Copies of this chain bind each other. A is one copy, B any other.
């Protein structure tokens, strides 16, 4: 099965949310290691509800087509727990930057270096964001049982970004060097 329903289930295990909230949360907090689109989220919510893994939070406003908030059910928590225990399946790698450098011999002069410089800037910004996020988590989530896990995840992003920055410097001097 797709991992999308489990991502949704996982977010609902933290707190009840609407499809829109789920999207926003992924976009704002998880975007450095995960992504989902509406086209995935809403159908997933539908299927999860049909399977009784989530349930609508009864909202007083009976308005049709209003905001629909869901919570995870006990059954949903069990399913989530079982999924969390399974070894993650790595997705097949597809790094377009490395592919372009691999064929770099045929690239116009300077193209590879330009790509690497762009990467470096992105990762620099990401690193700053994640550092800020670390401070924020410590401040705002103090005492939250999720905190330790979230810090580990952020540190993964941080160490990845820093490794990429260091590699960029190496790569740039290797590209510049007329060896």
Binding site for B on A (CB under 8 A): 3, 6-7, 10, 13-14, 30-35, 77, 80-81, 83-85, 87-108, 111-112, 114-115, 118, 145-146, 148-153, 155-157, 159-160, 162-164, 166-167, 170-171, 174-175, 179
Contact assessment for A96 and B105 in the assembled complex, using a CB-CB cutoff below 8 Å: no
Given A108-B85, A163-B159, A174-B152: A91 and B96 interface contact (C-beta under 8 Å): yes
Pairwise interchain contact B153-A170, C-beta atoms closer than 8 A: no
Given contacts A102-B10, A152-B171, contact A111 B93 (CB under 8 A): no
Is B34 a contact partner of A98 (Cβ separation < 8 A)? yes
Asked if B94 contacts A88 (CB within 8 A), the reply is no
A-B pairs, top 3 by smallest CB distance, nearest first, are A163-B163, A88-B96, A104-B149
B106 contacts A77, C-beta separation under 8 Å: yes
Q: How far, in whole Å, are A94 and B35 apart by their CA atoms in the complex?
A: 6
Whether A10 pairs with B103 at a CB distance below 8 angstroms is yes
Q: Tell me how far the C-beta of A117 lies from the nearest C-beta in chain B, rounded to whole angstroms.
A: 11
In Å, the complex CA distance between A114 and B98 comes to 30
